[in-house]
Amino acid sequence: MKQPSAIVIGAGIVGLATTRALAIRGYKVTVFERNERAIGASIRNFGMIWPIGQATGPLFERAMLSRSIYKEICTEANIWHNETGSLHLAYHDDELQVMTEYAEANRIYRDCALLTPAQTLDKSAAVNPGRLKGALWSGEEMIVESRVAIGQIALHLADKYDVEFNWNTAISGIQHPKVFSGKCNWEADEIFVCSGADFETLYPELFLTNITKCKLQMMRLIAQPDGWRIGPSLCGGLSMIHYPGFQTAASLPLLRKRYEEQYAEYLQWGIHVMVSQNGGGELTIGDSHEYGLVHDPFDKQFINNLIIDYLHTFANFKDWKLIQSWNGIYPKMMNGQTELIVETEPGVTVINGLGGNGMTLSFGLCEQFIAGR
């Protein structure tokens, strides 16, 4: 029996997740990436696998499936990862109330608990103790160093499943069963387009019908001295109005109303503030969210200042020296859907539009989709 074949366009997280789901089912997979390595949104993030951000139900289960796949790959390929969990920190009664409601609604489904100030400080030496009222602990979040891990996962897939990667090869056209790059072409039984915002080049009309682009700004602080670790990833209260997982809390609209008055500029620029720590001790902080089809390529310093100012309200670090700042752009659905999966012609499938959830959901989504065919 002939081995089935597939072409995957894009070597970011969605492309790698699709490649894995096909390869474990016996496909001979060939991946095409227009750059010499993945350089898009898949490496420009916190590296957070973040189940707490997903509403209890199918998306949470998908996030947990993703987490288990990450864990398997990272263990097999010796890729650094850290099952840190997370802390959402409360400094006001209304923040603590939302966290209390979240914990009560979700403790039978998730590893989560409401912590006292003392318990919170035991979890992390980086928490600002001033006026701390408590925290929501979740044990399910995991960190990878995405800018390194994405390339390492590609190497692992090539080694374990004989996946062929073609770097510096921009696919400019598709006519099943062929894909084209200039005068060259390749063919396979099935073709999967997983190229993030680059999908606009291949299917501009489909892109404009469904998708906008989100620009985020992020920063990195120097490796903390003497191997000092912050423990869990840390979040301020603004993160609770950003992630749909918290909509289970009845008091969330009241908290949002206060934030709209107190942090109007933050909400205008889609700012909520989080921090994760990589294996080398550096701190990744962010982020903001600007929506539109075209974005200013330059960072706005006032946005970075707002992020750092808010971070000071809940975190104490040993060294606040800034070593990097950057922005990333990812495609996001405009109709409220969590992803775009569409067959553009028989044998050609686009998987795109995961928004800011690519790191958390891609492995689970692609496993479910490929398994369900």
| Mean pLDDT score, 130-156 | 98
Which value, to the nearest 10 degrees, does the dihedral of the CA atoms of residues 207, 210, 215, 218 take? -110
Q: What's the pLDDT score for residue 338?
A: 94
Q: What's the pLDDT score for residue 46?
A: 96
Please report which residue ranges of 177-320 form alpha helices under DSSP H.
Answer: 199-202, 204-210, 252-262, 264-268, 301-314
Q: What's the pLDDT score for residue 45?
A: 96
| Mean pLDDT score, 335-355 | 95
Model confidence at 343, pLDDT cuts 50, 70, 90, reads very high
User: Helix (H, G, I), strand (E, B), or coil: what is residue 182?
Assistant: coil
Model confidence at 1, pLDDT cuts 50, 70, 90, reads confident
Compute the residue count for the chain: 373
Taking the alpha carbons at both ends of the chain, their separation in whole angstroms is: 20
> Over 90: is that where the pLDDT of 229 sits?
yes
Q: What's the pLDDT score for residue 323?
A: 98
In the numeric block, which tokens belong to residue 212? 């906008």
Q: What's the pLDDT score for residue 210?
A: 83
Q: What's the pLDDT score for residue 260?
A: 98
- Average pLDDT of the chain is 97
| Mean pLDDT score, 24-53 | 97
| Mean pLDDT score, 76-86 | 98
Residues of the chain above pLDDT 70, percent: 100
pLDDT in tens, 109-124: 999 999 999 999 999 9
Q: What's the pLDDT score for residue 198?
A: 85
> Over 90: is that where the pLDDT of 319 sits?
yes
Largest CA distance in the chain: 68
Please report which residue ranges of the chain form alpha helices under DSSP H.
Answer: 13-23, 58-77, 93-106, 117-123, 146-161, 199-202, 204-210, 252-262, 264-268, 301-314, 358-372
- Calculate the alpha carbon distances from 220 to 79, 273, 296, 351 in Å: 21, 13, 21, 30
What whole-number distance in Å separates Cα of residue 178 and Cα of residue 222?
Answer: 47
In the numeric block, which tokens belong to residue 162? 């004989």
> Over 90: is that where the pLDDT of 257 sits?
yes
Q: What's the pLDDT score for residue 114?
A: 98
5-46+147-210+336-372: CATH topology: FAD/NAD(P)-binding domain (3.50.50)
> Over 90: is that where the pLDDT of 208 sits?
no
Q: What's the pLDDT score for residue 174?
A: 97
Q: What's the pLDDT score for residue 209?
A: 86
Residue whose token pair is 């099943």: 176
Q: What's the pLDDT score for residue 197?
A: 84
| Mean pLDDT score, 30-55 | 96
**pTM for the whole structure:** 0.97
Residue whose token pair is 């096909």: 22
pLDDT in tens, 274-287: 999 999 999 999 99
pLDDT in tens, 156-193: 999 999 999 999 999 999 999 999 999 999 999 999 99
Q: What's the pLDDT score for residue 39?
A: 95
> Over 90: is that where the pLDDT of 20 sits?
yes
